[in-house]
Amino acid sequence: MFDKILIANRGEIALRVINTCRDMGIKTVAVYSDADQKAGHVIFSDEAIYLGPSEPSLSYLNMDGIIAAAKQTQAQAIHPGYGFLSENHEFAQRCRDEGIVFIGPTAEVIRNLGDKITSRKIMVAGGVPVTPGLIHCETEMIALMDAAEKIGYPVLVKATAGGGGKGIRIVNSPEEIGEAVASASREALKAFGNGEVYIEKFFSKARHIEFQILADKHGNTIHLFERECSIQRRHQKIIEETPSLALTPELRHKMGAAAVKAAKASHYENAGTVEFLLDEGNHFYFLEINTRLQVEHPITEMTTGVDLVKHQIEIAAGKKLGLRQKDIQPRGHAIECRIYAEDPEHDFLPSPGKIRFMKEPTGPGIRNDCGVYQGFEVPVDYDPILSKLVVHAQTRDQAVSKMIKALQDYIVLGVKTPIEFMMDVLNSRPFRNSEVFTDFIETHFSGWKADRDLADVAMIAFIADALGGARTNAHSYSSAKETASPWDTLGNWKL
Amino acid sequence: MFDKILIANRGEIALRVINTCRDMGIKTVAVYSDADQKAGHVIFSDEAIYLGPSEPSLSYLNMDGIIAAAKQTQAQAIHPGYGFLSENHEFAQRCRDEGIVFIGPTAEVIRNLGDKITSRKIMVAGGVPVTPGLIHCETEMIALMDAAEKIGYPVLVKATAGGGGKGIRIVNSPEEIGEAVASASREALKAFGNGEVYIEKFFSKARHIEFQILADKHGNTIHLFERECSIQRRHQKIIEETPSLALTPELRHKMGAAAVKAAKASHYENAGTVEFLLDEGNHFYFLEINTRLQVEHPITEMTTGVDLVKHQIEIAAGKKLGLRQKDIQPRGHAIECRIYAEDPEHDFLPSPGKIRFMKEPTGPGIRNDCGVYQGFEVPVDYDPILSKLVVHAQTRDQAVSKMIKALQDYIVLGVKTPIEFMMDVLNSRPFRNSEVFTDFIETHFSGWKADRDLADVAMIAFIADALGGARTNAHSYSSAKETASPWDTLGNWKL
Amino acid sequence: MEYNLIVNQEKKSIDAVISDQNIKVQTKSKAYNASFMTISDYHILLNVDGQNFNAYVWNDGGTKTVIIKGRSYEVLDADLVEQNSSGEKSFASNARVVASPMPAVVICVLAQVGDRVKKGQGLVIVSAMKMETTLFAPFDGTISGINAKEGDKVMPADILVDIEKD
Amino acid sequence: MEYNLIVNQEKKSIDAVISDQNIKVQTKSKAYNASFMTISDYHILLNVDGQNFNAYVWNDGGTKTVIIKGRSYEVLDADLVEQNSSGEKSFASNARVVASPMPAVVICVLAQVGDRVKKGQGLVIVSAMKMETTLFAPFDGTISGINAKEGDKVMPADILVDIEKD
């Protein structure tokens, strides 16, 4: 087993990995950028190595710097988390060349599956159904428009290297295709270093169902059941749950078998996720395999009792998977809400800034994988995820109630969050009835405004606060060095 | 189902019950004393009713006041928590007479089982083995000494109404018996309103194993497996775990069946715990049935996935138990550490005072049922429990590692805690080997001093803190009204 | 004492009689009897007609964000706002300019001074936290000034484009 | 700069050279290169020879409680202690009296002024947090004063019984 692991990531997922490493007695090395000097993953690692400026390309995407940090600290393995270099096959190869274990699949597997076109080809050959669309990249606008016409609008323009909601655009008519391609391509180029795009059918009334898989180096592959991830904004999941109410035991069995088949067809190893679209006729289509730990992995951990990060590390170290398919017996219902620094009343625009006060929800069946803390400055440079709030209960109804309670108890002052929005989604009749499709937010919560019925109590609080005297000036004790602006440490801002 | 429940308790257990009530959509009423005006259970209930002065007899043991509070707020049921009135049959009867549901067994069952003598008689008649000793109370010193001689020293002097480590004394020789009886009797009188005592055999090398039971009003009784509670100080459990490594599947089955038999013999209903002593020869003896929720109930919840408080409430409302014996399939290993305000380097003396800083451990598999918060004054008047820290993992080794990590991350400044002590216990060879008996602390940790090997780093922290400037004077921003002494609000202190 | 407050952009007048930790409040339609306790720097426990409410309050330069039961309210003193805004540009003037809704980096400027633009036309693309947002012209008009270029870091108060309305 | 510190009752001298956020420390046997960052009012992140240590510090009137990796250290400045204690009663005088080890309530006083008592004899029973503790005579002697009666609330500094040592 490894003595020391470097985590090539930041925020909540870096802390998530640190957590399991500490459980396993493995030392941890964090890496960080200028914006993250006081980030949680820096504070709670055993060692922290500075990478460079805040721009991802100079820090968390900086392969040379990360490899050098691993060598300097004698870390034997690198956990990439999600995003950044997690699905970068060159980085996986580079690690192997340098004698460092990359905790994930091999470079070949990542390359094949990371390219949506190649993976679609593998699945077609392996007998796994894929969504209608191109199985090659296309830059010619005329060819793209032809294909779109053939598939039928609406279609999706997708970056072959995309993921996490980035590099993806819905196109409803030929007029929109040009700007969609340009913008998806630019976004993907910036985020993943590859701007190639293709198109596939867009199902406006579909569910996003994914299966967690674990595969060791010795040919053992199992699935850990599904996650329902249909609630999305800007094509990024925000609420996930397991089990999915859309699956009958038969369909679940069939999709689980297809997921294992997809993993074996691609010679998969380590933890991964097979994503399917499920249409209204209960047909499922392979979307992609995410060759990394998924943001929403905790709901699977809650229902199966399995620590996925521990198995990732053990598999990477060459251990045999100790679990057989029949050992995986999910129990109860789990839900995750992603808490971003964003403003749901204004199109989910990011809301960076200093967290003035934070109180995390606690209690039986509540888990909050959190990367920030009171006093931390949420930087403008990265994905604005603050934490993943997860609950587990015996039934779906109980889990929904528990999540609403947890959201009510989650206090964040200083940046905006979707907490109220989540409460309303969970309380809504379509969610309660599990009528969740990928267009859920647009259909039911477009132009959402919070229903704030305690304005009178808020006014009383305003007055009580004014009467509190010294207390309300609490931040005045801060040293003179500290200022109210989140920007003064960030260099050449135009102010 | 009830709309509103009054919780006749305080601290972490009151908050524990509030948590489940909120999950179930039930409103909560807290009650409180002078010392608890700012206690967590007061803050996080829907309504809070003042009972009276801090002395328990005038507040949390004040039946009239509590019944009146329930009537005033139209609470339909009362949850008694543990301690205080939870095992008081008069209170259960009083609730019934007033048309309020008491969430627990009937007054008759509580009276029978609360009296250790009566319960011993019921078990003997029901064929459940009990510890050797008297089956009647005794006040005559000569008779007590005769009985002790017959059983053989050491013996235990036990209050028939005792519990929670109170009203119990070990007696090694005839000379000690007088003071032991007086002191146990006085303590029990004060805590439970009944000073009667008897004696039974003291097993110095025994394990304390208990079984959780659930029984509805319709004759359905199940057990939820065992808890190993052998690690005790002053006859009060401080570390509990499940499963017990001492039980073979056969013995577990036998004891589970005996627990259900004991419950049925006493016409038990609601949640309860059947306590057994297990001697070195694997013989088990019935000790008592605790007719309430146990402090250590969360470890059972973690391994079985069952919310015991929810079932308590449902059973009290007359619902059928939805669970059958075969539905209870424990998974993984859970450990609880009780975090008291106490000083383990000085005989676990209580350490009341103001919590200056607190940081709770969080992360996958960690639960902290906490009754206090940063800024709260832990009162001198009550049991000094701050929280119950619970972890759950796939194996015992993993659970132990996770608990040690959680303890390291649990920061409390202002009062002393047994956190370091717990870390050393969990790290010790006998604990790792599960060589745990009720004399564990005396045998292995008598005169324990913390092993503090980072004194140099502590000195560097001292210097760094001094260099921090304004920050280290953080408490100076408090308003003039606030003072450093925990006593100034408590009235007529002799200072 | 009368308070003229603005709660989530809505003006509300209430009358409050304060004695020690007790507050009697009269709104247009309702009366409340409240008391409060300070729990920590940002946390007040309110008792309003016998019901507990935990209020978490952050005072950001006069505007208080108040979170109650998971919902947040922006509350400020209307009288103070009037004092401060007298003599300044009114909020309405914002409609004549284009500003970034968040701290961001300018990715691309799509127009230049003198251009005639139509309502809804994209003028500037900014990026924050890996998300691109296009800023559109709020009405038809002529661009009279551009104060941003690619790579600039901008704040919500910064006016990136001035438009002379038709 | 030389620091004379007391760490958990043990005197230690170290030499520290401080520049900005960096501290070079020399103890009798070891040298450390450290830097630090303030995370919050009670939380300092130390980097000591490349390793992270989270230190949680509470300054209680000069004595700092420092928690590192779950273990707590009491650290104070030895020089300050000497200044403060010169002219005062030495700590040894505590041995002549009986005090409660914790804030508590007196349950029962078992002796009276003039009694001859033996070492280990119970003198006062106090109770805190529902636990009774008996305070014993620390040596043979004669009771010269009793300053507590049943029901009194007492603090650790309070002298409950004075004993004239034989």
User: What are chain B's domains?
Assistant: 4-103 (3.40.50.20), 130-201 (3.30.1490.20), 207-452 (3.30.470.20)
Asked if the model's pLDDT at residue A474 lies above 80, the reply is no
The 8 Å CB, 24+ separation contacts for D32-38 are: D32/B456, D32/B460, D34/B460, D34/B464, D36/B460, D36/B461, D36/B464, D36/B467, D37/A37, D37/A38, D38/B468, D38/B471
User: Do the chains contact at B306 and A476, CB–CB below 8 Å?
Assistant: no
Cα–Cα distance for residue pair A210/A203, rounded to 1 Å: 16
Chain C contact probe: residue of A176, A347, A456, A460 with most C CBs at under 10 A: A460
Higher pLDDT, C105 or B441: B441
Supply the DSSP symbol for A180: H
Q: Where are the alpha helices (DSSP H) in chain D?
A: 78-85
Residue A263's pLDDT is 97
**CA B182, B185, B190 angle in degrees (round to 5)?**
125
- 8 Å CB contact of B373 and C40: yes
pLDDT above 50 for A479: no
User: Which of D16, D43, D130 lies at the smallest CB-CB distance from B382?
Assistant: D130
Give the 3-state secondary structure of A195-238: CCEEEEECCCCEEEEEEEEEECCCCCEEEEEEEEEEEEECCEEE
Q: Does B374 touch chain A (CB under 8 A)?
A: no
The confidence score (pLDDT) of residue B302 equals 97
Class of domain D1-91: alpha beta
**Residue ranges per structural domain of chain D:** 1-91, 93-166
**Which residues of D are less than 8 Å from B352 in CB distance?**
102-103, 128-129
What strands lie across the sheet with B236-242, from one edge to the other? B284-290, B270-279, B206-215, B221-233, B236-242, B333-340, B385-393, B366-370
Q: How confident is the model at residue A3 (pLDDT cuts 50, 70, 90)?
A: very high
Q: Could you say which residues from 457 to 476 on chain A have a Cβ atom under 8 Å away from some Cβ of chain B? A: 469-471, 474, 476
Q: Name the residue of chain D whose CA is nearest to B164's CA.
A: D130
Give the closest-approach CA distance of A395 to chain B in angstroms. Answer: 11
What percentage of chain D has pLDDT greater than the value 90? 37
Write down the ipTM of this complex. Answer: 0.86
For residue range D17-74, what is the model confidence (pLDDT) as tens digits? 998 779 999 998 999 999 999 999 999 999 999 999 999 999 988 899 999 999 999 9
- Give the neighbours of chain A: at least 3 Cβ pairs within 8 Å: B, C, D
How far apart are alpha carbons A319 and A301 in whole angstroms? 20
CA dist B380 and B442 (Å) reads 26
Over range C12-17, report the average pLDDT.
Answer: 93
Phi, psi of C93 (to 5 degrees): -65, -20
Residue B89 to residue B85: CA distance in whole angstroms: 8
pLDDT number for residue A164? 66
Q: Which of B207, B230, B237, B241 is nearest to B398 (CA)?
A: B241
Q: Assign domain C93-166 one CATH number from 3.40.50.2300, 3.30.230.10, 2.40.50.100, 3.30.1050.10.
A: 2.40.50.100
Quick check: C71 and A452 CB within 8 A?
yes
Nearest-CA distance from B86 to chain C in Å?
A: 25
Shortest CA gap B302–chain A (Å): 9
Q: Does D52 contact A37 at a Cβ distance shorter than 8 Å?
A: no
Of A43, A374, A375, the CB nearest to D45: A43
pLDDT at A475 over 50: no
How many CB pairs below 8 A link A and D? 24
A474 touches chain D (CB under 8 A): no
The interface residues of chain C toward chain A in range 65-104, judged by CB-CB distance below 8 A, are 65-73, 75, 101-104
Q: How far is CA A53 from the centre of its chain?
A: 24
CB contact under 8 A, C55 and A464: yes
Centroid of chain to Cα B320: 27
Q: What percent of chain A has pLDDT over 70?
A: 94
On whether any CB of chain A is under 8 Å from the CB of B368, the answer is: yes
Sheet harboring C159-165: ordered strands across? Answer: C97-99, C159-165, C141-146, C116-117
Separation in Å, CA of C165 to nearest CA in chain A? 25
How do residues A215-225 score in pLDDT, each as one tens digit?
999 999 999 99
Choosing among C41, C51, C150, which should be mutated to test the A contact, i.e. which has the most A CBs within 10 A?
C41
Q: Which stretch of A37-46, B276-285, D2-11, D152-161 has the lowest confidence by average pLDDT?
A: D152-161
Q: Are D44 and D35 in contact (CB under 8 A)?
A: no
How far off is chain A from C121, nearest CA to CA, in Å?
Answer: 13
Residue whose C-alpha is closest to residue B27's, from B76, B60, B85: B76
pLDDT given for residue D62 in this prediction: 83
Per-residue confidence (pLDDT) for residue B214, from 0 to 100: 98
Closest Cα in chain D, distance from residue A372 (Å):
12
C residues 27-66 lying closer than 8 A (beta carbon) to B = 37, 39-40, 45, 47, 50-52, 54
B349·D103 Cβ contact <8 A: no
CB contact under 8 A, C45 and B375: no
Q: How far is it, in rounded angstroms, from Cα B371 to Cα B143?
A: 44
Strands C63-68 and C71-77: antiparallel
What are the chain C neighbours of B375 within 8 Å (beta carbons)?
39-40
What percent of chain C shows pLDDT beyond 70?
Answer: 90
Q: Write out residues 434-453 of B within 8 Å (CB-CB) of D.
A: 450-452
C-alpha–C-alpha distance, residues A28 and B68, integer Å: 57
- Angle, CA A264 vertex, CA A258 and CA A267 arms, to 5°: 145
Asked if residue C87 has pLDDT above 80, the reply is: no
The burial class, CB within 10 Å (0-12 / 13-18 / 19+), for B446 is exposed
Q: For tokens 């499940």, name the residue.
A: B242
- B50 in C contact zone (CB under 8 Å): no
**Which residues of B are tagged catalytic?**
292
Q: Which pairs with CB-CB distance under 8 Å and at least 24 residues apart come from C44-50?
A: C44/A461, C44/A464, C44/A465, C44/A468, C45/B38, C45/B42, C45/B43, C46/A457, C46/A460, C46/A461, C46/A464, C47/B48, C48/A457, C48/A460, C50/B47
Is A370 within 8 Å of chain B by CB?
Answer: yes
Cβ pair B461, B472 in contact under 8 A: no
The closest alpha carbon to B339, from B263, B406, B247, B259, belongs to B406
Tell me the nearest-neighbour CA distance from C135 into chain A, angstroms: 12
pLDDT, one tens digit per residue, over A9-49 is 999 999 999 999 999 999 999 999 999 999 999 999 999 99
Q: What is the pLDDT of residue D82?
A: 65
CA D24 to chain centre: 29
Contacts of A43 in chain D (CB under 8 A): 39, 45, 52, 54
Q: Which residues contact B219 (CB under 8 A, 6 or more apart)?
A: none
* C-alpha A398, offset from chain centre: 25
Q: Name the band, by pLDDT with cuts 50, 70 and 90, for residue C95.
A: very low
Q: How far is A452 from chain D (nearest CA, A)?
A: 33
Q: What is the 3-state secondary structure (H, E, C) of B438-473?
A: CCHHHHHHCCCCCCCCCHHHHHHHHHHHHHCHHHHH
DSSP state of D21: T
> Which chain B residue lies closest to D4 (C-alpha atoms)?
B459
**Rounded to the nearest 5 degrees, what angle is found at the Cα of D94, between the Cα atoms of D90 and D99?**
145
Residue D157, classified by CB atoms within 10 Å of its CB into exposed (0-12), middle (13-18) or buried (19+), is exposed
User: Please, which residues have CB within 8 angstroms of residue A51's CB and are 6 or more apart in sequence?
Assistant: A31, A32, A33, A58, A59, A60, A62, A65, A66, A69
Identify the three-state secondary structure at position C65: strand
- Chains in contact with chain D (at least 3 beta-carbon pairs closer than 8 A): A, B
Position D84 scores a pLDDT of 58
* Residues A306-315, mean pLDDT to the nearest whole number: 98
Q: Cα(D8)–Cα(D73) distance, rounded to whole angstroms? A: 6
| Contact call for A374 and D45, based on CB within 8 A | no
Residues of D in contact with A27 (CB under 8 A): none
User: Percentage helix, strand, coil, to 5, in chain A?
Assistant: 40, 25, 35
Phi and psi at A163, nearest 5°, equal: 155, 160
Chain A residues inside the 8 Å CB shell of B470: 477-479
Average confidence (pLDDT) over C140-153 = 87
Distance CA C12, CA C27 (A): 8
- Determine which helix (DSSP H) or strand (DSSP E) holds D67, and give its type and residue range: strand D63-68
Distance CA B270, CA B109 (A): 11
Q: Does the pLDDT of residue D156 top 70, yes or no?
A: yes
Q: DSSP E strands: which ranges in B53-204? A: 77-79, 101-102, 155-163, 166-171, 197-201
Which residues contact residue A171 at a Cβ distance below 8 angstroms, ignoring those fewer than 6 apart? A148, A153, A154, A155, A156, A157, A177, A180, A199, A202
Cα-only R_g, chain C:
22
List Cβ neighbours of B249 (8 Å cut-off, separation of 6 or more).
Answer: none
Instruction: Give the separation between CA A382 and CA A39, rounded to whole angstroms.
Output: 12
H helices of B37-140, where?
A: 40-43, 63-73, 89-97, 107-114, 116-126
> For each successive 10 residues of chain B (495 residues), what is the average pLDDT?
98 97 97 96 98 95 98 98 95 98 98 90 92 87 90 92 80 91 90 88 90 97 96 90 96 97 97 95 93 97 97 98 95 97 91 94 95 94 94 96 97 96 96 91 91 92 80 36 31 29
**Confidence (pLDDT) at C88:** 41
CA angle centred on B439, ends B435 and B444, rounded to 5°? 70
Separation of alpha carbons B274 and B280, rounded Å: 19
**Interface contact A373-D37, CB threshold 8 A:** no
- Say which range, A130-139, B219-228, C80-89, has the weakest mean pLDDT: C80-89
Asked whether D and C share 3 or more beta-carbon pairs under 8 angstroms, the answer is: no
Is D102 in contact with B410 (Cβ distance < 8 A)?
no
Q: Cα-flanking dihedrals φ and ψ of residue B90, to 5°?
A: -65, -40
C-alpha C24/C-alpha D19 separation (Å) is 56
